[in-house]
Amino acid sequence: MNVAAEALSRSQIRMIVKEFRKTVGCDKIAYFPIMQFIEWILANPKYGMDYEIVDPGEMQDTYGTTNTERNVMRIRSDVYEGAVKGRPRDRFTLCHELGHYILHQPQFMSYARGNIPRYCQPEWQANTFAGELMAPYDLVYDMSIEEIMEKCGMSRQAATIQYNEYHR
């Protein structure tokens, strides 16, 4: 059995991100402050989400996990430190985990047999959320890939995916 999420297209995720950025007052900021968001807002008892920094030996190849039943985000310590320093890949990982937290609360999840269509795959949805969050169309539509990398704190790979989505 696999886990499937409620279907979400890229444009639906884009709308969710847009609302989310507006709600948290970041709709005009290219460089999404993911660390501050996790530390100051999400970890505030009001939201009831905890994060734990976990030793690499315990997490092994996993950069982060988000348990939406217990509302705990576990972040591998080197990923956490990298994100604090602004390392693009680690920033993406935390945006991806935030995507799980926002999109994959238990009421949206179910078990499924066989192949899960892309739009229902939690990993695809979380990656799409992270890309849209870090480089929203409204802020980057006229930027080059290099500008997206620099202004949004993204890796070339992630910036290229967003660039290509906006220049079809």
Residues that bind Zn ion (CB under 5 A): 123, 126
Min dist CB 41 to Zn ion, Å, is 20
Minimum distance between the CB of residue 95 and Zn ion, rounded to whole angstroms?
A: 11
Using Cβ positions, the residue closest to Zn ion within the complex turns out to be 126
Of 63 and 163, which CB lies nearer to Zn ion in the complex structure?
63
Closest CB 100 distance from Zn ion, rounded Å: 6
The distance of closest approach from Cβ of residue 66 to Zn ion in the complex, given in angstroms and rounded to an integer, is 7
Complex with Zn ion: residue 62 or 77, whichever CB lies closer = 62
Helices 122-134 and 156-166: angle between axes, nearest 10 degrees: 90
Question: What single string gives the DSSP state of each residue in the chain?
Answer: -EEEEPP--HHHHHHHHHHHHHHTT-TT-SS--HHHIIIIIITSTTTT-EEEEE-HHHHTT--EEEETTTTEEEEEHHHHHHHHTT-HHHHHHHHHHHHHHHH--GGGEEEE-SPPPGGG-HHHHHHHHHHHHHS-HHHHTT--HHHHHHHHT--HHHHHHHHHHH--
Nearest to Zn ion of 64, 88 (CB atom): 64
CB of residue 64 to Zn ion, shortest distance in Å: 8
Nearer to Zn ion among residue 143 and residue 158 (C-beta): 158
Residue at token pair 């602004």? 86
Q: Decide whether 50 or 123 has the Cβ nearer to Zn ion.
A: 123
